Amino acid sequence: MTMDSTALLDQTGRQLLEELQANARLSAAELGRRIGLSPTATAERMRQMEESGILHGYTVEIDREALGLEVMAFIRMSCRGQQYYRLITYVQTLEEVRECHHLTGGDDLLLKVTTTSMDNLEALIEALLPYGTTVTSLVLSSPVERRRFNISGRLATIVRKQPRRR
């Protein structure tokens, strides 16, 4: 039987997540040393976190430019009615689409795409046009590319100011 996610996110669980975010390749023995558990208990905690959906996987980051994917862009898409479901099915087949997000507001989808050239980006945009309207923004640089989660669950950067009392 699996523990609920609240129990798994105690201080030890949060320390484990911090260590995994820093280096997911650490052995259970090394992780256990760092968080104060035995290797067996650490592996069991990780298994429980996987089963409860807290941990989804262990990945490697690859430099896209080393693969020749020089162009990165975001494409906002708007479509009507049944085109939406056709578009969702279609974008799932496109290797260029790195991420796809369903949005509120004026746009339906936000696609993060990578291509080898501007010509290939243009071809991708043209392939999307039968499904709806596109608005494309090229990425010039990424000052914050992938940030770790604040494991405490609280964001400390922005704090709502209390209104002044007069």
| Beta strand 71-78 pairing with 97-102 | unpaired
For tokens 């996610």, name the residue.
5
What pLDDT sits at residue 81? 85
What pLDDT sits at residue 68? 95
Q: Cα Rg for the chain, rounded, in angstroms? A: 21
Q: Amino acid identity of 157?
A: T
Beta-carbon contacts of 161 under 8 Å, excluding residues fewer than 6 positions away, are none
What pLDDT sits at residue 33? 95
Options 1.10.10.10, 3.30.70.920, 3.10.20.30, 2.30.110.10; which CATH number does 64-138 get?
A: 3.30.70.920
What pLDDT sits at residue 5? 75
What pLDDT sits at residue 1? 40
What pLDDT sits at residue 64? 92
pTM above 0.75, yes or no: yes
CB 62 within 8 A of CB 114: no
CATH topology for 5-52 is Arc Repressor Mutant, subunit A (1.10.10)
**Token pair recorded at residue 98:** 């790195």
Domain spans of the chain?
Answer: 5-52, 64-138
Closest residue by Cα to residue 100 from 123, 70, 131, 122: 131
For the chain (length 166 residues), average pLDDT per consecutive 10?
A: 72 92 92 95 94 88 92 96 92 97 94 98 97 97 82 66 69
